[in-house]
Every structure is written in C-alpha cells, then in structure tokens.
Structure 1
C-alpha cells in the first residue's frame, strides 16, 4: 500500500496552510471523562492523515484546526464578529471543539477561516467535506457556492471560479441542524439525551481539505470483486473528458504487477486476477490499484487505490437452512455492536490512532465482525477494517421516528410501517444512496442494514429490493431486530440478555438467521462513567469477575444455536456510551472490563467448523 498512510503533503503546489490561533485560545470544554488521546491532543495536528484511502492523490492540503465560530438566530446573516474559536473537525457540542454548546433548530452555527490556495492555472480547486451535520451552505470569499443536506455523506465543491486571482481565501460555512425535530437521518442524537439516546452533533465532524486537480480528472471509481470468475469489475467517473481519453489501471500485489489494462473512460472492464489471494479475517490480503488518466499517451491525472478479492453469499446447509458464506465457506460472524461515539469528540474520534484502537481491540478480543450501528464512520475507519481483516455490517442511520404509524399486516402478521412524508422519504433515499456509493469499494463491508427495530421504517420491500439491486455483491438485512417483511436475505432477531435465534423455517427457507443484538451486560467502572449515578445496562454487575462469568455463560449457549442454524450474532456493545454502561470497554477506553485474552479464549468455540454439517 503505497500512499494510504500519508499525512499532510505540501508539495510545491501548495503554500503553507491556515494560520491558526495559539494553543491558549482553545481549551477542552468538559466536566466529564475524556480519553487519553483527547488529553494529549495537538490542536495544530488534528486528523492530518489523508482522508480518502480509496482514491489517493499526493498533492492536497488539510484545513482542520482552529476556525472562528458563532451561533446566531436561524434567520440572521453572517455575523461581523465571532464568538471565539472552534477546533475542526469536532462538533460544536463536543468537549474537543473547545466550545461545548448546543445549537438547536432555532439557531445556526457559523464557521469562518482563511487559507492560502494554490495556483489554479490549468487546474480545478476542489473543497472536500468528510461530513457536516446537517444542512450546510458553503461560502468562498463571501459568495455562496453550494448547499448540502446530509449528515453522513461526504461532498465536494468546485471553488475554482471563486478563488482566481486571489491568494488568501475566506471560507465560511453556515450549518443548521434540527436534530430530532426534523425528518432527516440523525442516528441516536436527541435534544434530551437519556438511556440509549445521546448528545446532539451539529456541524463539521469530519476532515475538511482541498486539492488541486487537472481540468480533466478522475472523480470516483467503482470496483467489485468476482472470485468465481477471478476478476475485478472496474469503472470510473471522469470530469471534462475529451474524445480519445483513456484510463490505464494496473493491479499490483506488493511489488509484483498482476495485470494492466487500457480502455476508454466510459467503459467498464473486467481485470483478470490470476492466482487470486482471497481476503478474510484470517488473511486480509489487499491488492494495490494504480489508476492513470491518459491523453495522447501522457498521464493527465493519477490516483492510487486498493481492493480485495472476497465474496459474501448464502447457501443452504445439509439441513436445508440458509447459511452466510464467506468465500464459499461458512464462517460464523460474531462481533460487537459498535456505535462509534466518544466522550470527548462525540461522533469524532480524537485521532486516527483512537479511531483504529477500537477495531484493534475488537480483533484482539477474538471477534471477526463489527456491526456499525446507526452511524457512518470516516473512510479511514473502513480502511482500518480492510487492513485488519474485520467484517462489517453497515447500518443506515435512522431518522424521523416521530411520524404517525400506519399498521398493516406483514407477510407473517409482524410488519408495520411508518407513514413518512415525501420530504422525509426523499432525505432517506438520497442519503442511503450516497452512503452506499461512497462505501462501495471497502471490502470489509459485507452487509447493508437499511432499518433497525422499525425506527422510521417505511416501504420496506421497495427500499430493500432497491438496495439489493444497487449492490448485488453484498447481503441485505432489511430490518434488524424484527418488523419482518418478505424481502432481503436475512431474518434478524434482537433478544436481551440471552442469546436466541429466529425459529428455522418459521419465515420460510429463503433467509439467513442471525441474532442482531443480545447481551447488554453492564458494569459501571468508578471514575470512568459519564455520570456518577443512574447509569444503565440491560443487566448490571458489581465486579468484573461477575461480568465475565455471566458473559462466558452466554457464550456457552451459542454453539447450540449455530448447530440449529444461526449464522451470525452481535453482542451489545464495544464501549459504554454516555449513560449506557454495557460496553466491553469504558467510554473513555481506559478500562477494558474483561481481559482481551479471556474474551478471545471463550470466543474460539464459536468458529469451530464442525458445528455445521
């Protein structure tokens, strides 16, 4: 992997980045617990890693750091003075932002900063936002250039025409977020945090960056492995292409070239992968991709990427029960519910090291899968999963839980659906489409989960069938936790605290059976809790030994469920989150409640191939 670990590269093309305020103009705003990474944060070097590992260019500039901010009434114009400094990319409500204030639907959050842009001679200057929650309007030198709605999908703005002839640019961002008072996807944010509902997240919460690209440039790529045919399907979107332009794609396995092919920019090609090495949790093998845009034989643009050869599918076992297959073999998928929240950064990990930490520890504990619950992570989180060999079940963030419910019989008398407005449906469909497109190239993702526990669930069959058609290379779990409809690949039960499973054959023989949530065993750890009392877990314990004994007893029950037809299970959860204390780690990640060696040991029996057939 040649450039995936790049930090900020300021190569000739770029002048020095933003001039930030000094350290004493910012301080951690919290009276609660924080992680070690937050305690040691360097505000002038926040999330400096290249943010898009699936399409890497060398020349770019990171805009993270201290910006000005102001909170004004919703209809106010840009303020002439600001309230202070905010540390981007941390949400304004977070401790790491240095602000720690709420905004709400009646106010807007303003950001302002200045940066030095490179020359745009024969170039386009692209401004990238990893994620901004929720509606953002972007201004360059006072001119509005874009409005984006969506809190979980990255977006790009071409700002070339607004910066010509100027060196120091003013970047202003206006953000409005109604949290749980709007119909938009919002995950677990709520105005009144309690129980399983958490602090609002408003504004920029992923990296902001710029890059200068050629007039004709690669916008995006799409690659899908087919291990049955030993080939990789590849296509790309190219901006401002001219007749005769071509792409050259070279596949490398380390230093060895596997194949190389030239083709037209609008073509989809099949790249033969001879002697393919399959990706799995035990052997997460990744291939490099060199992608060059050619004009008259000369390289106009170039990006680096990677891919893996792996297959997720379903197949009946000897008892006629559908099994979830990885590379045509049954692998029991077991992992924690991972919500990706932080006591200091909320949606945003304090650093890339912290972002990776949870995955590393999950792997060390003997899990082979993570259910990414009601949230979408920065691209680097999935990159770490790809590298480490961690399977991912990816949820769509829920929203619009407050509309009127329209009850109707489902195929088994269990289906209900929400009566959502056209606006609400539109927000969901648009963002789910963009999330799937953005994450398509990450091989670690093996399952899409459009709905959870009927939260905002609507037009289930339509949404599920569309999801399956858009990405036939993955499994689709239409509604994790119940509310079943005759669609998708999976029947998913939630059961606390005991492990259980859907009854084989009860819903027909066309579905994989999984346990989407169970466990929730709680242990508050003194000095490592969000609040000192009234913490919550599905079942609470006083000591780590008691917790482990109970957890171990749950693990003893799962092999029988696997024999009966269970293909995967999700334990709640990776870490404590705010008042929830049912994590395997504390919210600040300073205490692992059960030693990783003991967890790994009790998990090994779940992967015994003799449990099936």
Structure 2
C-alpha cells in the first residue's frame, strides 16, 4: 500500500513538473519597444532564424539551437547554475537589450547566464560523429559549459567561435548547455562600434543601445574526426583561375581534397590536392561578378582518405578583381574587373528597432540589401559593425559592393586591449574574405581609438592582398588635416556640402561620409523626447531637392578625381533622424525615383536630367 501511494505521488509530481515546464515555456513574450518593423510579427519562437547561418561553408546536416532559453542576470561570485531553473526566459539570438529578446533592459553587473537543454538527433548522419557547437557571435566574453564541465571560453563581440563538445556529451538523454556572458561595453577599451551602455534609456546623437549577450545563431553540426574547418577562395580574372585552400581541423591532417567548380549545376573545373595547399582550377570562359551581373560559381570540396569520403562542404565564389587604376590627370581611381567604377552607397549602421544588432528575420536582412540596390546604389559602407554571414551572402547574391568597417572604441586602449583588437581585426578579415561583395576593409573611423595606424593598415594589406584597405576613414574629422598616408584610399568626411579631399597619385580619393539630410516623421520616431537631426529639413520635397544638388556636385567632383561617395545614412537609428527610411523601415523620407536617377547619373550614362 505504501509503495502504491509513493507511486501515485511520484506520478503526480512528474505531472506537476511537466505542467510547470509547459507554463515556463509560455512565459516568454516580446517586450515593448518604441518602434517595430513588419518582420517582428513574423518571428516563430519554434523556428528562429532557421536558415543555415554560414552559406560560404555549408554542410547538409546541422541543428539550430535558437529559440527560448532560460535567462538570469549574474554576479561575479555566482556558482554555475548546473541543473537549475533560471528566473527568466530569453529569445536567442536577440541581444538582451532588444525587444525581441523579451528582456529589453541593461544588465546591472554586465553579466548574465543562459541555459537550455537539447537532444542529439538519432539520425544515421549523426551516428559516430564529432559534434561542433557554433556561436555566430556573443558580445563580449562567453564561457560555455556542457553537462557540468567547461567546454571553452571566447573574447570578442563580433567573430564566430566553436568548440568540439563530443567528449562532454552524455550517451543518452538530455544535454545541458549553459553560457555565461560578460559585456563591459564602453567602460573598457574594446571593439564596440556605436554601442553605448551608459545611455540605454537615453540614446544620444551618434551612439545607440548596446547589444549584449548572444546575438547570432547558436548551432551544432556533426562532422567526422577529420574535417574541413575553414577554407580560403581567391581568384585571378586575368589568368582565368580560381584558387581554393582547404584548412583542416588539425595541422597533422594530410588528407587529399577534391574540388569541383560548377556553373549553374554544370561542372566546369575539377582538381585534387592536399589540405593547407593552394589548389588552382582553370576556368576557360569565366563569368565575372559585378553589381550589374552578380554571377556566383558553386564550389564543392570533398575531403578524402584514399577513396573514402570524410567530409563534404558546399561553398561559392564570384570571380572579380578590385584594384587601383589610373584615371583623369594620372590620378588613382578604383577599378572593378579592370574598369573604373564610381561607387555610390549609403552608410548602413545595421541597427533594427526590434532586434538592435540582430535583424528579426533573414527576409529583413535581404530586404535591406535589395532596397539599397533599388535606390540605384552600387555599394554599401557597413559602418563599424560586422554582420552575420547571411547579410554578406545576400550582398554576394544580389550584387552590391561592400566597404567593411572594423568596430571601434572611443577609449584609449591598454596593451592587452590592443592585442585583443588586433586579433579581432584579423578575425574579421579571415572570416569574411571569401565574400566577393567585400572590396574594402576600413581599419579606423575618424581617429576613434586610433593607434599605430600605419602598422595596422599594412598588416591588413599583407593579410588580404585581394582587396583595398582604408587606414582611417575621415582624415579631416576630429583631428583636422591628419592624414597617415597609408593604404589604398584617401577618405574625407564632408556633410554639407560633399567635398573631395586633396587628390593624390598614390591613393584613390573618396568622400566617405556626406549628407545627413534629415527630418522627423511623426509616429516613426524612437526617441520622441529629443531626436537629433544633423540638418533639419521641411520634408520629402525639400530633402530630395537638396539630395539632387549634392549629387550634381559629386558628378562635378569626378572630374577632379573623386572615386566614391557615401551618403549618411540608410535609415534613422534610435534618436538620429538622418535616414532615407525611418528606423522601422515603414516610411521613405526621400523621393525614391529621383534619388535613384541621381545615383545612377554618377556611374551610368543617362539622358534623363536630375
């Protein structure tokens, strides 16, 4: 009788715990925010950002760990909460401060715990494999625990990292994953971009909300004991070749790699070589990549042990060449595929009112890139933020040139912080150097946190000889007339009106920021108490007319050697009202057709007057 009562009590307890678990799963809800995009309502908590997160190196089998996790603010003295239910819920991978996360507040002590459980699939593809746990990005420090043991730690808010967690997994049942994050924000001299955790409830001027914690996709993939950890694809359009280097998980690995290049499903070149060695493939009739014709070749890599397949990945590449050439009066100009190309693009901060650093959906990421092209731009300057790999995929696929900034700091760095910055700078290059859309690395912006600019610019030039490098964008900003005379590009910032820096026969001259033709649109303002506008205009007609005047000046500057111009900016951001679109992407603030016609006039022949 006692045994039967215990059985009933046990059963009742299990039912209660199950009910509590269901209730907890329903606790998450999106937080209130001043503005929201149309994509926020399309987020499915059971399938958050379900697209494969790394299209440039893709495998067939993987498991997405995005979704509702347990969450709790942390103290430095906390013990790791193994097998402990945390206080709150958070939707991963949206930053803690975002409405989409469900939390939307500043961390009191800059620390937090994340926790969830998961099961390893029982599919054949997952049997007898190694398991790699991937994080797209965590801001800023992460310590990862799997089933009660530390699997690894990482510093850096913008680069991807991964751990082999095979030895930490239980043979059967649920696996526990815990992540401790620490984000000091701008109280330390780390790479943070426009984040400002001192002003979360009061954004001011050109700094915005911080984006702490997990802000890109978390995922697991099964691999063989020997696998391709990374790859590097370069091409030479003059010699009609594509070169592929497969980088294995271990330097002791000496396996063969089979490479096939495909054009619309048809194999056009194959080669076999060793890992860590350049494998060159001849492309007899190459199709070049450009904004007008963004053709991508599919690239398949197969890691072989004799005739046994160990790993198989899918990638892609675009054959294109970016370089400096000679223009008017012998001045340097930027050339794409051996032809001068004037570049017109918006400054893009990469912020979202609902997700801050993280777009609500992949559709939203694609929409931004597609709309920028529809406005007649052929370039984007990604401003001191590094995006998820999916954003660069859409730039590659849709065809737009990218200037990629390194995130900055506003503080003087310690020697340790300088070392971390240089590691992150190199990681930015190596993680993204396979994307044909990226044609220019920008090391510093307006002298912010600048040190050793010549050495660091030359380091990036040596690391990636297939792209241009800007040492400091805005040589006239903050510290007038300081030009470090390094890199491929001389860049000044001139808002009203745009201008051209003193030209040189050593570097191409560009206007890296101009414009800021802003005004407020009622009902679409994040910070209604004090929105900041660089230069306030009356409305759409007034702003568009001014835009056209600026473009006419830029057309004239081309005769003086100007190679590119960057309009500030793509959207409003929080309290900064200088966008072509409102922050929620719902209202266009300039006449689209007139802006498009003006933009096209800078790099295409047109009979239509501005």
Q: Same fold (TM over 0.5)?
A: yes
When residues 72 and 606 of structure 1 are mapped into structure 2, their CA distance, relative to the original with a 3 A threshold, is: same
Partner of 2:186: 180
Question: Which structure's CA Rg is the greater one?
Answer: 2
Which secondary structure state, in structure 2, belongs to the residue aligned with residue 194 of structure 1? coil
Q: Which of 198, 201, 211 is the matching residue for 1:201?
A: 211
Deviations 1:333-368 (A, max 9, x none): 110000100111000000000111111110000000
Partner of 1:298: 308
5 Å-filtered alignment, 1:562-573, equals: 562-573=558-569
Q: How far apart, CA to CA, are the structure 1 residues paired with 2:55 and 2:549?
A: 41
Partner of 1:446: 439
Partner of 2:584: 588
Q: How far apart, CA to CA, are the structure 1 residues paired with 2:491 and 2:251?
A: 46
Give the stretch that moved more between structures: 23-32 or 544-553. Answer: 23-32
Deviations 1:71-92 (A, max 9, x none): 0222322344422110000011
Partner of 1:351: 361
* TM-fit CA distance, 1:243: 7.2
Partners of 2:294 and 2:398 within 8 A in 1? yes
Give the stretch that moved more between structures: 594-603 or 535-544. Answer: 594-603
Q: Which runs of 4+ in 1 moved over 2 A?
A: 19-24, 78-81, 118-122, 239-245, 594-598
* TM-fit CA distance, 1:511: 1.0
5 Å-filtered alignment, 1:485-564, equals: 485-505=484-504, 509-564=505-560
* TM-fit CA distance, 1:596: 2.6
Q: How far apart, CA to CA, are the structure 1 residues paired with 2:74 and 2:309?
A: 48
Q: How far apart, CA to CA, are the structure 1 residues paired with 2:168 and 2:26?
A: 33
5 Å-filtered alignment, 1:169-318, equals: 169-190=175-196, 191-192=198-199, 193-240=203-250, 245-318=255-328
Partners of 2:271 and 2:280 within 8 A in 1? no
* TM-fit CA distance, 1:594: 2.2
Q: Which runs of 5+ in 2 are unaligned?
A: 1-20, 476-481
Deviations 1:26-54 (A, max 9, x none): 22212411111113322112100000000
Q: How far apart, CA to CA, are the structure 1 residues paired with 2:328 and 2:39?
A: 50
Q: Which of 432, 450, 454 is the matching residue for 1:457?
A: 450
When residues 326 and 591 of structure 1 are mapped into structure 2, their CA distance, relative to the original with a 3 A threshold, is: same
Q: How far apart, CA to CA, are the structure 2 residues paired with 1:240 and 1:307?
A: 25
5 Å-filtered alignment, 1:61-140, equals: 61-79=63-81, 80-104=84-108, 106-118=109-121, 121-140=127-146
When residues 231 and 240 of structure 1 are mapped into structure 2, their CA distance, relative to the original with a 3 A threshold, is: same
Q: How far apart, CA to CA, are the structure 1 residues paired with 2:25 and 2:511?
A: 48
Which secondary structure state, in structure 2, belongs to the residue aligned with residue 274 of structure 1? coil
Q: How far apart, CA to CA, are the structure 2 residues paired with 1:451 and 1:526?
A: 35
* TM-fit CA distance, 1:121: 4.8
Q: How far apart, CA to CA, are the structure 2 residues paired with 1:251 and 1:451?
A: 36
5 Å-filtered alignment, 1:271-420, equals: 271-399=281-409, 401-403=410-412, 420=413
Partners of 2:226 and 2:311 within 8 A in 1? yes
* TM-fit CA distance, 1:303: 0.3
Q: How far apart, CA to CA, are the structure 2 residues paired with 1:194 and 1:438?
A: 32
Partners of 2:110 and 2:184 within 8 A in 1? no
Partner of 1:579: 575
Q: Does 1:477 pair with 2:470?
A: yes
Q: How far apart, CA to CA, are the structure 1 residues paired with 2:103 and 2:253?
A: 52
Deviations 1:189-223 (A, max 9, x none): 11223110011111000000000101111101100
Partner of 1:25: 27
* TM-fit CA distance, 1:300: 1.5
When residues 20 and 546 of structure 1 are mapped into structure 2, their CA distance, relative to the original with a 3 A threshold, is: farther
Report the RMSD for the aligned CA atoms in angstroms.
Answer: 1.7
* TM-fit CA distance, 1:21: 7.0
When residues 23 and 524 of structure 1 are mapped into structure 2, their CA distance, relative to the original with a 3 A threshold, is: farther
* TM-fit CA distance, 1:241: 7.7
Deviations 1:402-452 (A, max 9, x none): 22xxxxxxxxxxxxxxxx321111111010111110001000000000000
Partners of 2:492 and 2:513 within 8 A in 1? yes
Could you tell me the TM-score, scaled by structure 2's length? 0.91
Which secondary structure state, in structure 1, belongs to the residue aligned with residue 299 of structure 2? strand
When residues 68 and 22 of structure 1 are mapped into structure 2, their CA distance, relative to the original with a 3 A threshold, is: closer
Partners of 1:137 and 1:146 within 8 A in 2? yes
The alignment covers a number of residue pairs equal to: 572
Give the stretch that moved more between structures: 567-576 or 238-247. Answer: 238-247
Could you tell me the TM-score, scaled by structure 1's length? 0.91
Q: How far apart, CA to CA, are the structure 2 residues paired with 1:178 and 1:58?
A: 37
Q: Which runs of 5+ in 1 are unaligned?
A: 1-18, 404-419
Deviations 1:508-550 (A, max 9, x none): x201100000001112111111022421121112321111111
Q: How far apart, CA to CA, are the structure 2 residues paired with 1:375 and 1:42?
A: 26
* TM-fit CA distance, 1:557: 1.0
* TM-fit CA distance, 1:295: 1.3
* TM-fit CA distance, 1:175: 0.2
